[in-house]
Amino acid sequence: MIALTFTENHHLKGLKDIAQATGFSIITVSRAVNNPEKLKPETRKCIQETMEMMDYVPNRAAKNLAAKRTGIIDVYIPEYIDINNPFMMHFIVGVSEVLSEYMYSFLIKRSWKKNHNCDGYLVTGLCTNEIEDFYARAQAQNLPVVLFGHTDIEGVDWFDVDNVKGAEDAINFLLENKHTKIAMINSGEDKDFTIDRFKGYTNALGRAGITPDPRFILKAPNTLIGGKNAIRRLLAEGDFSAVFCATDPLAVGAISGITESGLKVPGDISVIGFDGLGVQFLADPHITTIRQPVVETGRVLAGMLVDRINGSTRRVTGFMPPELLPGFSVAVKKTGLAKRRGTHVVSGRYNAEK
């Protein structure tokens, strides 16, 4: 047991003071701050307890200077993306939670017009043709990049929501509820998630022995108006009993368009969305949707980048599974009854005959 040599009210702040109080060398105390895993457990515990008793606060700036780091992460979100949308807000929450644990600050970067020093990049919202350009810029600075999305570029770590599986789950849920004529409204953006969600749609229908009807597949701007205009075109095209919307804003617009046409959701047409970030509650009825765990994915991405900055050479990639959130916009389609009638609502809370 090592006796401490300080008075209760005397606040000592430097590594030298901690060393004098514990009897360890300054090098050992420094190691307890910067590389605690390299010390024996009893040594590490003694030093850390002493630091707490002395109200010692590590000099982060000095530590970063010694390691030739800035302590800053750039979170790159392209300027054409609305940073106030629910996806981005959830993403930032997840990222900030983990970076705060590691005492990292972060800046939200919208373009390359002004460059500054940072320790690495977290990137989201890029079009498929932008990822390679971004990586080349970061590589020129010898900085790690972690992508919210997925790519075949070997030097880029990535983590993404499994959009293919999420779309398959959405279609399978509709199939379980007796729907076979299922339309799709996809976002018109050139993003991986639009490709993946369409793939999930076709995969699930194909496994059920259903050939997707191109008349019932549309792309639209990822907005409420986009969804409303798309559903009007689909309603004019022919008969279908359900529609899968690649995003919840599209689903909200679709429900509005269905209602304005004199039909009911889900009594006449079932609607399922994708996102689960709160927008589903803007519709009446509330939308059954696929929740993409954006906060959780943001946490994983931030941890991956910190590992890279700390010297990890292992490439990390992976998918986060989404989940079905029952609402009130999907109904069981019954056979042998009048067109668009004879359904009951399917939700996590009740089954009510319509």
pLDDT value at 144 more than 80:
yes
Q: What is the mean pLDDT of residues 271-290?
A: 97
Q: Give residue 336's pLDDT.
A: 44
- Mean pLDDT over all residues of the chain? 87
**Where exactly are the structural domains of the chain?**
15-58, 72-161+295-321, 163-291+324-346
pLDDT at 112: 76
User: Are 276 and 248 contacting, i.e. CB atoms less than 8 angstroms apart?
Assistant: yes
Are 15-58 and 163-291+324-346 in the same CATH fold? Answer: no
Level-2 CATH architecture, domain 72-161+295-321: 3-Layer(aba) Sandwich (3.40)
Mention the CATH class of domain 15-58.
mainly alpha
Calpha distance 265→327 (Å, rounded): 12
Class in CATH terms, 163-291+324-346? alpha beta
pLDDT digits (tens, 9 = 90+) for 169-215: 999 999 999 999 999 999 998 889 999 999 999 999 999 999 999 99
- Model pLDDT, residue 33: 76
Q: What pLDDT digit, counting tens, does each position of 248-270 carry? A: 999 999 999 999 999 999 999 99
Separation CA 77–CA 81 (nearest Å) = 7
